[in-house]
Structure 1
Amino acid sequence: MIVSARISIVVPTSFRTDKVRKSVRSVLAQSMPDLELIVVNNGQPPAVASSILGDITDARLRVVTLHRNSFFCAPVNHGVSVSSAPYVATLNDDAWLAGDWAENVLSTFERNPDAGSVASLIIQANDPTLIDSAGSHVDLWGRASNLLWGAPLASTPGSPSPVFSVSSCCAAYRRASWDAAGGLDEDFTAYLEDVDLGFRMQLMGMTCLFEPGCRAYHYGSGTPTPSAYKAFLIERNHVWNVVKNFPSALLRRRALPIMKAHSRPVVLQNGSSLGSFLSGKAAAAVLSRRMLRKRETVQRSRRISVSALEALLMPTAPPVCKL
């Protein structure tokens, strides 16, 4: 444990990509040195981790091992649970940080005491003239996507702005906010887990701030996920996000449009999948009782009005779901 660490950065990885070395090195090269880096070995033998990271030695680096591949949510929660700093961050193993990222994140939190999380400007590594994410949004019907995905980098807002939630690819949280909201919901496995956590934070009155000075770069698909399974998770988790987080008054008011919006497959980058749509919605229904139990806790914690929440939701849906 790094006693003086001001921020703990968690990188879950299955060590199936050579990009994880670049990710790790970018954290250790930050202009603000008082941090800790927790690499969560997600189900690979320790020897695999050693062979890939063996020549990267730094007292701030810890590798913790899970004995089976738990995808994203569980490794991140585990990494945060063994970390020590008052701020925590998540970073994909196929993403890396600009050198002043941590410094800018902490200064953003210090200037904005009501912010529970900070969203980064994530740039497409394969084409650095394009944006990968400027935070995430949810529309009035519960559909989510990354903000400004595919937009020219030159269109980046010049100043901080409120957004609905971070993108877990590169996200920062106050530990107190993370703990109060309960961290990532491991039932989500992966995809929309960041939106779910962001939704809970918004309901509790915590804001999320996009800071264009906090820059990261992302390749995408660094940890292979079969596209059909990804589509399945997105279809299922979209339903769970609505069931768990939408207040009753909003559900009653928009019940028919919400059901209509979720009655057709989500359009992903590589198209839509009828099979994944059907299996995802079926899985959402089968396990809906579990989400309804969680809903009781989430809605009891709500501190903002339904009208204030509704004002945060986007009035238009994204043409393509990029998560």
Structure 2
Amino acid sequence: MPQISVVIPNWNGAAFLPACLDALRAQTFRDFETVLVDNGSADDSVSLARRQYPEVTVIELPQNRGFSAAVNHGIRNSAGDIVALLNNDTQADPRWLERAADCMARHPRAGSVACLVVCLGREHVIDSAGDEAAPWGAVFNRGHLHPAGPPFDAETPVFGFCGSAALIRRAVFHDIGLFDETMFAYYEDLDMNLRARLRGWDCVYCPDAVVRHRYSGSTHGTGLKLGTEEVYLHLTGVWLKNMPARVMLRHILSATAFHALILFFHGVARVRGRNRMPRVPVIRFLNAMLQQRPAVQKSRTASAADFEKHFMKMSFFRFALNELAGAGKARRG
């Protein structure tokens, strides 16, 4: 049985897979398996993987079921005590698994390890050094677009991992369940991080576990993790599902403003016909998330105070003011 199972979700990623899988072949740590879960690709991803990488286990899904479903298939059909998530458009440094596994061994209370993800072709620029979150509902790529180096060169506890490259103990999935397939794509890592925090699991950031990621430019310069307008709603659903009532009430003004803005942008995207994700009515989606809330909150072992201490100490209004000030400086520059 391998110690680590690397799970790679893929959809039409044939152009990226050789670099990704070649980097795994070059790993100094060898006690791992690779599971590629194909989401109904229309390109030659599956044939390429089977022809050129026979060591890779390929799972074919008949259609694109989204990130969460693909990753869950990989987790169920793998054997490692540790699951390593890896995007198909990444290239891991040769000692990625070695250093991340060593970091996890040094932190037995950590359920996950966040890796240093840098921008492919601009390796001096950070894509993500773990995730940080606000109690009113937003999530940020820590260090996003900052130079690699201090203070992001220190091993440290962080709120959570970014799903593009992370190690997670299988025990975490046994404890809190798999990724929530209610969300087709985006913010499923935030949901997993929140549920793990509610159960008392920690996350540690390992700056020596480096992965290069093909930066798409789809995220804000601040690191605010944004997909397209149609998935902003996932942030609201995740907040309603996971946030303890006491924390909700303490940040109700910021949360109300932030999620009202989300609903506004979601509505605009619908009107403009920009919703490219599977159409799920707002009420149906939020109700599906709320139906999970009683079980999630009943299973919580962390106190509200312990849970809240892992969040950023910034209100939505302060964040908005900082954004406006930054935009003004950019225009004047």
| SS of residue in 1 equivalent to 2:44 | helix
Q: Residues 283 and 221 from structure 1, CA distance in 2 versus in 1: closer, same or farther, beyond 3 angstroms? A: farther
Is 1:86–1:176's contact at 8 Å kept on the other side of the alignment? yes
Aligned partner of 2:10 in structure 1 is 13
Is 2:119–2:212's contact at 8 Å kept on the other side of the alignment? yes
Select which of 22, 26, 29 maps to 1:29: 26
Aligned partner of 2:301 in structure 1 is 303
Residues 11-35 of structure 1, C-alpha deviations (whole Å, 9 max, x = no match):
1112344111111111122101111
User: Take 2:103 and 2:67, find their aligned partners in 1: how far apart are those partners?
Assistant: 26
Aligned partner of 1:292 in structure 2 is 290
User: Take 2:47 and 2:60, find their aligned partners in 1: how far apart are those partners?
Assistant: 14
User: Take 2:77 and 2:48, find their aligned partners in 1: how far apart are those partners?
Assistant: 22
Runs of 4+ off more than 6 Å: 277-280
Aligned partner of 2:94 in structure 1 is 99
Task: List aligned pairs for 1:95-134, cutoff 5 A.
Answer: 95-134=90-129
Measured after TM superposition, the shift of residue 50 of structure 1 is 4.5
Aligned partner of 1:182 in structure 2 is 177
Aligned partner of 1:258 in structure 2 is 255
User: Take 2:288 and 2:53, find their aligned partners in 1: how far apart are those partners?
Assistant: 43
Is 1:15–1:52's contact at 8 Å kept on the other side of the alignment? no
Q: Residues 217 and 207 from structure 1, CA distance in 2 versus in 1: closer, same or farther, beyond 3 angstroms? A: same
Select which of 256, 276, 298 maps to 2:269: 276
Residues 65-96 of structure 1, C-alpha deviations (whole Å, 9 max, x = no match):
00001121100000110000100011111011
Q: Are 2:148 and 1:153 aligned?
A: yes
Q: Percent identity?
A: 28
User: Take 1:16 and 1:221, find their aligned partners in 2: how far apart are those partners?
Assistant: 14
Give 1:56's aligned amino acid: Q
Q: Are 2:246 and 1:249 aligned?
A: yes
Q: How many residues align?
A: 304
Q: Residues 74 and 107 from structure 1, CA distance in 2 versus in 1: closer, same or farther, beyond 3 angstroms? A: same
Aligned partner of 1:202 in structure 2 is 197
Give 1:177's aligned amino acid: V
Q: Residues 48 and 294 from structure 1, CA distance in 2 versus in 1: closer, same or farther, beyond 3 angstroms? A: same
Is 1:122–1:132's contact at 8 Å kept on the other side of the alignment? yes
> Unaligned 5+ residue runs, structure 2?
218-225, 324-333
User: Take 2:50 and 2:199, find their aligned partners in 1: how far apart are those partners?
Assistant: 43
Is 1:17–1:94's contact at 8 Å kept on the other side of the alignment? no
Is 1:23–1:95's contact at 8 Å kept on the other side of the alignment? yes
Measured after TM superposition, the shift of residue 110 of structure 1 is 1.0
Is 1:132–1:218's contact at 8 Å kept on the other side of the alignment? yes
Is 1:122–1:134's contact at 8 Å kept on the other side of the alignment? yes
> Unaligned 5+ residue runs, structure 1?
223-228, 267-271
Measured after TM superposition, the shift of residue 156 of structure 1 is 4.5
Task: List aligned pairs for 1:55-70, cutoff 5 A.
Answer: 55-59=51-55, 61-70=56-65
| Worse-matched range after superposition: 18-27 or 251-260 | 251-260
TM-score (norm 2): 0.84
Is 1:159–1:212's contact at 8 Å kept on the other side of the alignment? yes
| SS of residue in 2 equivalent to 1:130 | strand
Aligned partner of 2:330 in structure 1 is none
User: Take 1:158 and 1:44, find their aligned partners in 2: how far apart are those partners?
Assistant: 37
| SS of residue in 2 equivalent to 1:116 | strand
TM-score (norm 1): 0.87
User: Take 2:169 and 2:7, find their aligned partners in 1: how far apart are those partners?
Assistant: 14
Select which of 31, 40, 45 maps to 2:37: 40
User: Take 2:266 and 2:245, find their aligned partners in 1: how far apart are those partners?
Assistant: 30
Is 1:109–1:118's contact at 8 Å kept on the other side of the alignment? yes
Give 2:246's aligned amino acid: A
Aligned partner of 1:269 in structure 2 is none
| SS of residue in 2 equivalent to 1:263 | helix
| Worse-matched range after superposition: 191-200 or 286-295 | 286-295
| SS of residue in 2 equivalent to 1:131 | strand
Measured after TM superposition, the shift of residue 230 of structure 1 is 3.7
